């Protein structure tokens, strides 16, 4: 039964991810992205990672894609008649795809993978959230801070790029 669910969600995820790339209509592509995220959330649920699934839906499906749509609609972006792929894009994406596939293949062939310990249920489902939070603020504090710092840099970059600093020559 769970295999069937896995195949359903995997098919939704992959098919809609392909649709994101190939759809010419930008709004349609964003909605396909939304569907893809929902498929991934379903896969997370299969793995008993309810929190992750819910956070994915809440943050990405609920807010980020809505923001994408907002920007698309605000700027009135249309697909237009330009070719979907430039030559450069095809070459680079082929290389990137090949690298990714190789990486996944090598990872799957690693002997350690076969001997990974059973994930097992957390001691109590109720404890899940608390453990998650505790890990985030103790063991993985550094990655969290780094990611936060990265986001801060991105935000500053956006402000510098988009804001017109008139009369402030030194900023330019």
Partner 1 sequence: MDFFFNLPLWVQISLKGLAAIAVIFPIAGACSLAERKVSAWIQGRPGPSRALPFWIAWVPVIAPIMQKLGLFHLMADGGKLLFKEDPIPGHVNKFYFVLAPIVAVIPALTTIVFVPFGGYIDQAGQIIPLILANLDIGLLGVFAISSLGVYSLILAGWASNSKYPFLGGVRASAQLISYELSMTLSVLPVFLWINAPGQPGTLSLAKVVEFQSQPGFWGGAWFVFLMPISAFVFLVALFAETNRQPFDMPESEADLVGGFHTEYGSFKWSLFFVAEYAHMTVGSGIFVLLFLGGWNPLPWVPLEMVVGWLSGLGAWATHPAFVGVLSVLIFLAKVLFFIFFFMWVRWTLPRFRYDQVMKIGWQKLLPLAIANVIVYAIAIAFID
* Site residues (vs partner 1, CB under 8 A): 27, 31, 34, 50-51, 54-55, 57-58, 61-63, 65-67, 69-70, 73-74, 124-130, 133
26-46 vs 2-22: helix axis angle to the nearest 10?
160
26-46 vs 65-75: helix axis angle to the nearest 10?
180
| Smallest gap from residue 147 Cβ to partner 1 (A) | 19
Nearer to partner 1, 25 or 93 (CB): 25
CA distance 46 to 6: 7
Nearer to partner 1, 21 or 67 (CB): 67
| Smallest gap from residue 62 Cβ to partner 1 (A) | 3
Decide: 57 and 37 in contact? Cβ < 8 Å.
Answer: yes
| Smallest gap from residue 25 Cβ to partner 1 (A) | 9
Nearer to partner 1, 124 or 162 (CB): 124
| Smallest gap from residue 37 Cβ to partner 1 (A) | 10
CA distance 120 to 47: 10
Nearer to partner 1, 10 or 69 (CB): 69
Burial degree of 108 (CB within 10 A; 0-12, 13-18, 19+)? exposed
| Smallest gap from residue 172 Cβ to partner 1 (A) | 28
Nearer to partner 1, 95 or 134 (CB): 134
Listed residue (75, 74, 61, 4) closest to 31, CA to CA: 61
Cα three-residue angle 8-96-37, rounded to 5 degrees? 30
């Amino acid at each position: 039964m769970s295999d069937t669910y896995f195949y359903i969600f995997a098919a939704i995820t992959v098919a809609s991810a392909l649709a994101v790339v190939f759809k010419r209509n930008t709004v349609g592509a964003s909605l396909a992205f939304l569907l893809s995220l929902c498929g991934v959330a379903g896969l997370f649920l299969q793995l008993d990672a309810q929190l992750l699934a819910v956070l994915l839906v809440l943050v990405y499906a609920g807010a980020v894609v809505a923001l994408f749509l907002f920007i698309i609609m605000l700027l009135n972006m249309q697909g237009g008649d330009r070719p979907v792929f430039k030559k450069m894009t095809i070459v680079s994406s082929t290389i990137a795809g090949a690298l990714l596939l190789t990486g996944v293949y090598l990872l799957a062939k690693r002997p350690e993978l076969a001997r990974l310990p059973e994930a097992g249920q957390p001691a109590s489902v109720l404890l899940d959230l608390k453990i998650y939070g505790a890990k985030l603020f103790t063991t993985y504090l550094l990655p969290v801070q780094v990611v936060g710092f990265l986001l801060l840099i991105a935000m500053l970059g956006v402000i510098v790029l988009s804001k017109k600093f008139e009369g402030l020559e030194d900023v330019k």
